């Protein structure tokens, strides 16, 4: 992943945060190392049943447009203090 790709992903996540904050949720970019992006769900997102859709499919799809071979790790920390790690390796399904 290039430095330019990292900047694009950081900007994309920042824009996505604006959207989820309207629903009292949030996401934190922990790090980008190699082709791995590590995110932490916060607020309402940590307990939302639609977080798989929002993060794995929507945000993951947008990130895959930048880096098709990306691996995304989502750390979900619930309001009750529980911790659930989900690892998702995304495959490119749609061709340009």
Is residue 10 pLDDT above 60, yes or no? yes
CA 74 to chain centre: 6
Q: Is residue 95 part of a domain?
A: no
- The per-residue pLDDT for 96 is 31
Checking if the pLDDT of 93 tops 50, the result is no
Residue at 80 is within a domain = yes
CA angle, 70 then 75 then 81, to 5°: 175
Write out pLDDT tens, residues 52-82: 778 888 888 999 999 898 888 888 765 454 4
- Of all residues in the chain, what percent carry a pLDDT higher than 70? 79
Distance of CA 28 to the CA centre of its chain: 8
Query: Domain range holding 39?
Result: 3-89
Other beta carbons less than 10 A from residue 58's beta carbon: 14
Structural domains of the chain, count: 1
Of the pLDDT bands very low, low, confident and very high (cuts 50, 70, 90), residue 89 is very low
Residue 94, domain member (yes or no): no
Phi, psi (deg, nearest 5) at residue 2: -85, 165
């Amino acid at each position: 992943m290039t430095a330019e790709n990292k900047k694009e992903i950081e900007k994309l996540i920042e824009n996505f945060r604006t959207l989820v904050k309207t629903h009292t949720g949030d996401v934190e970019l922990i790090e980008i190392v190699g082709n791995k992006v590590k995110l932490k769900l916060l607020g309402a997102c940590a307990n939302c049943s639609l977080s798989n859709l929002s993060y794995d499919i929507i945000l993951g799809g947008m990130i895959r447009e930048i880096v098709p071979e990306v691996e995304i790790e989502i750390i979900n920390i619930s309001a009750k203090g529980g911790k659930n790690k989900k690892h998702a390796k995304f495959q490119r399904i749609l061709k340009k």
